Structure 1
Amino acid sequence: MFFIAIEKLMALAFVYCRVKPLVEILKGFDFKETLKKKIGFCIDCNMSMILDRASEDLEIIRSERRRNMENLDSLLKQVSMRIYQAGGIDRPLITKRRSRMCVVSGATHKSLLPGGVVLSVSSSRATCFIEPKEAVEFNNMEVSYASFEKAEELE
């Protein structure tokens, strides 16, 4: 579209003298190099990823998403440590089940997480993967932020 407009402007230069100086300036401009630099500013070609600075909205969404994940991670570490200290697991463990971050607990200790959502159970039924009640909103926000980020990347 832009290049078509430049071509039309060049055609007009033959008819309208006032346009000639602008056409002369544009002739010396390397549009491909400028476009290449702008793309390089927005996309990391080595990692095949869109950079935060590609748009202000993308930068804000990713910043909020990182902050949300830090809060979720901190909360889950505390909960997992509490389960470990109560003898509910051999070591503190955070994992992901059904696209949601959760903690691991022995089935006998799942009462340590009242109101928590059991996302999965091991085949032996000895281990539960539980989303603590306090983590539900953080996980919901993570799903939303991921969706917002994908939409902004496609825009």
Structure 2
Amino acid sequence: MTHLARVIRLDESDLNVFEHAAEPGEWVISGAFAYSNWTEADLTGKRRQAFAHGWLGLETFGRASVVAVAPITEREWQACAEALADHFVAHYGAPSRQAAMPVALEELGYARDLCNDYEPNTLILVERTLEPVGVRERFRPIAPTAAPLESFAVHGS
């Protein structure tokens, strides 16, 4: 079974620390590509927080600080790929969905490979730093506890 991560909102902090917060239940990817041309001068305020700790939601294209691994259906996967390809057209100058689709699938594949290393309901945090050679990402998994995650957080239906 294929896994991806979904937004978990354990509290309201994402609404305060990000310019645009992703919604609970949204599928996410790392979204580090958004920072490929950034310098230290770009890392201020809420933009710094999004860079340092934000996952990219695939519906609202907002950011989230905590995500949980969950199984994804083929239909959901395809919808994520289409949404991301359309985002590349609208915001990054890709000429068409068809042209953007290989890059969208590569980004989703990276997220899938990360998530497939963990069992469902594992929480994952991201930490990014700007290095001389680009953006460096580190992921910190938090294993699920005995209590089901659904008992205290909403992460989609």
User: TM-score normalised to the size of structure 2?
Assistant: 0.22
More helix by share: 1
User: TM-score normalised to the size of structure 1?
Assistant: 0.23
More strand by share: 2
- Greater relative contact order (CA < 8 Å, ≥ 6 in sequence): 2
